Structure 1
């Protein structure tokens, strides 16, 4: 009985590590960025300072939904399970860290465009919502979400691969599909605020539900239709995009 319990704890350890890392990331965000709210654009950061913040933010939002994948991957490993799962996670986060470059560019461009005129801010906000809404309903989104929801193919593919880099490659591979699944949701932060804590919590709940809940695909479609509705509603209610409203008031 003790051996069974020990084996079960070992199987669950990779998921626990990711959840612990996510909790640490959330704690850092709450402590460091409390009160910043919907600060527009890049929050006054240059790319070198922005990328670590972005990486911690994506770790907080993404790792809870990735924990079951890490646990599944860990069950295929007989020796050195913990360091290899850490390497898998590093590969996953590397993809999201690199995504911080276009995220920075988007935040900078949208803030500059929105700061030019009130009507420009509204148009930018509507475009951000509309792009997410349309993408959520596309076959590409559906395929990427399917890979995130059922990663057994990825696990089997890399189980037989030789070489020290296989764990890093497996994590990056899964991260690429996750990026394909979630990039448009993350782009909404350009409208809500890159470090808007409540927006981050809401989006993290959405992407976790999409990946783990039985009705994940249905959730993605509902979110897509809601985002299209927001693209229309923001014309009359600009406060739906608080970061872009803020940029109109001169916080570039």
Structure 2
């Protein structure tokens, strides 16, 4: 791929456009969880299970259909800011390679491939949330009511922060240049595949952290901001791996307090 790179007479001219529409996308994505968090008390709670032997109200099931896109928007709001440098790097390389006629479209497809992975994760999380709801395991704030389950989830997420798998995926997110140079895929389909591949790295890095929303509640705005800040620090700060390990210790300590109060 490096043999195809040519000197650009106007370096970096793709950055303002990419940053602008990424900022707009992040703002729209954050609007959904903020709206839900601020207005959750004005709507009928989703997490109240139906009475035994009764049929769920049709509007309650209809609202479940909106959980997936809302969850996808929530995940996009949390993950896109930390992935912005990688997206900018792809846009820069894609323009230097001149592999496609419309490089901005290729960048858009890269982002779509990336978000497709998190959409799949959100779909699985929605199904799990639905099952927990029907089992009566969630409170009206959409958080698990069993403290032992919450403690185990926190300990599992904290331990994973120290594993080689976590650090390998984190390194792929923090330093994607080597992955781009060795696994470059030309064309629009290649951009989509590369975005999907980066999404897999990102999911392997942060999926257990995102699963902690079952502990705090998907309508807990403070938890959303806190997890987003932890992901941002892991991926962008110079000592990101150290931040991940320190965060893991905190999660293990918190989970232990729930398991052994």
TM-score (norm 2): 0.78
Relative to structure 1, the CA distance from residue 217 to residue 14 in structure 2 (aligned partners, 3 Å threshold; closer, same or farther) is same
1:83 aligns with 2:83: no
1:140, CA displacement in angstroms? 0.5
* Structure 2 unaligned residues grouped into runs of 5+: 1-7, 50-59, 96-100, 140-144
Residue deviations 1:154-200 (CA, integer Å, cap 9, x gap):
322454x3343111101000000000000010010001001211110
Q: Distance in 2 between matches of 1:10 and 1:165?
A: 20
Shift of 1:54: 1.1
The residue that corresponds to 2:186 in the other structure is: 162
Hey, what does 1:242 align to over in structure 2?
none
Partner of 1:55: 72
Work out the CA distance in 2 between the residues paired with 1:54 and 1:217: 27
Distance across 2 between alignment mates of 1:42 and 1:149: 41
The equivalent position to 2:121 in structure 1, one of 99, 105, 112, is 99
For 1:176, the equivalent position in structure 2 comes to: 200
Moved more, 172-181 or 104-113: 104-113
**Unaligned stretches of 5+ residues in structure 1:** 238-252
Find the counterpart in structure 1 of residue 157 from structure 2. 132
Higher relative contact order (Cα pairs below 8 Å, separated by 6+ residues): 1
Query: Judging changes above 3 Å, is the alpha-carbon distance between structure 1 residues 42 and 228 closer, same or farther for their aligned structure 2 residues?
Result: farther
Distance 1:115 1:145, change over 3 A: closer
Aligned partners of 1:42 and 1:194 also within 8 Å: no
Identify which of 217, 220, 224 aligns with 2:244. 220
SS in 2 for 1:214: coil
Match of 1:185 among 198, 202, 209: 209
Asked if structure 2 preserves the Cα contact closer than 8 Å seen for 1:40 and 1:193, the reply is no
RMSD over aligned Cα atoms:
2.9
